[in-house]
Amino acid sequence: MLQVNRRGKAKTVLVAGGAGFVGSHLCDALLGRGDSVICVDSYITGSPDNVRPLTNHPRFRLIETDVCQFLEIEEPLDQIYNLACAASPPQYQADPVHTMMTCVAGTGNLLALAERHGASFLQASTSEVYGDPAEHPQREDYRGNVNCTGPRACYDEGKRAAEALCFDMLRAGRVDARVPRIFNTYGPRMQANDGRIVSNLIVQALSGKPLTIYGSGTQTRSFCYVSDLVSGLTALMDLWPNPGVPVNLGNPGEFTINELAQMIRSMVPSRTGIVHKPLPKDDPQRRRPDIARARELLDWQPTVPLSEGLVYTMEWFANSLASRPRRQATASRSHLNRVASLAAPARG
């Protein structure tokens, strides 16, 4: 459905981090409903390949810059989505100072831009604000169990600070800010080396390598397919009036890492085994969202089961790996037909 702004025209939307995994899917969705999209990305973790098909679209513009730098846009903006931050532990720990500054200074810059334009603002927060939770499942009123000086603090505390900025600006009447807390998300366009558990296991399986599990594998996660997440993000942004509270967005299905690994091994049969490595410091033991608030406020819940979303994701990775030079792609080519045969009935 075509979205219109207060001037009765199609909306102009800025997506910071728009060339990233989730951001690029969001750009697709916004263009698909008739919005004009300005994509801002530094390419620190995003990729030009994710938005290359959009570069000739008449309602799409790409700006390469870091949100930690001052940003001004000449045309009126109706909405700003801030997805600009590395989201996997290896990526955000690679430069923890920059991660923290992206969360704080970058969010501050974008909030200032939203204030100047009178634009609605959505800050992509994270389930990491709950830390290694003592409450299960996690509700939005749970205040978390975060190590504020640990190796994950640059992201955990950075996102908590970004939330504080948003709600202070909202209470002051300066910016119409909304905050979703995003739980583990997966799907096409994930980076093969991003360090996330889904991409790690799929790439290892397609490459014929042992699957790496950190710790015992009994720790749990909840996996939301990217199209479900995007529909939740847009629903929260478009909700009127502003709910004034954070909203969990994730799939409440809960799986152990061992269960995830077995699902992936069943899709790509292999003689390779599983390798266990030490669990990283402060790695959460259980993670599952309570989405009652999203159901009530947004009439939203995920629709893509993990078994189906993994097929789409694995098919994308198989094609992506097969397009690499021959010496890197031999194993993934051998599994491509297997994945395609799994994907065909799932799409029906």
Known catalytic residues? 155
Other CB atoms within 10 A of residue 147 CB = 14
Other CB atoms within 10 A of residue 318 CB = 27
* Six-digit token string for 121: 């603002």
Kindly report the three-state secondary structure assignment for every residue of the chain.
CCCECCCCCECEEEEECCCCHHHHHHHHHHHHCCCEEEEEECCCCCCHHHHHHHCCCCCEEEEECCCCCCCCCCCCCCEEEECCCCCCHHHHHHCHHHHHHHHHHHHHHHHHHHHHHCCEEEECEEHHHHECCCCCCECCCCCCECCCCCCCHHHHHHHHHHHHHHHHHHHCCCCEEECEEECCEECCCCCCCCCCHHHHHHHHHHCCCCEEEECCCCCEECCEEHHHHHHHHHHHHHCCCCCCCCEEECCCCCEEHHHHHHHHHHHCCCCCCEEEECCCCCCCCCCCECCHHHHHHHCCCCCCCHHHHHHHHHHHHHHHHHCCCHHHHHHHHHHHHHHHHHHHHHHC
Asked if residues 339 and 311 have their Cβ atoms less than 8 Å apart, the reply is: yes
Q: Which residues of 76-99 are buried (b: 16+ CB within 10 A; e: fewer)?
A: ebbbbbbbbbbbbbebbbeebebb
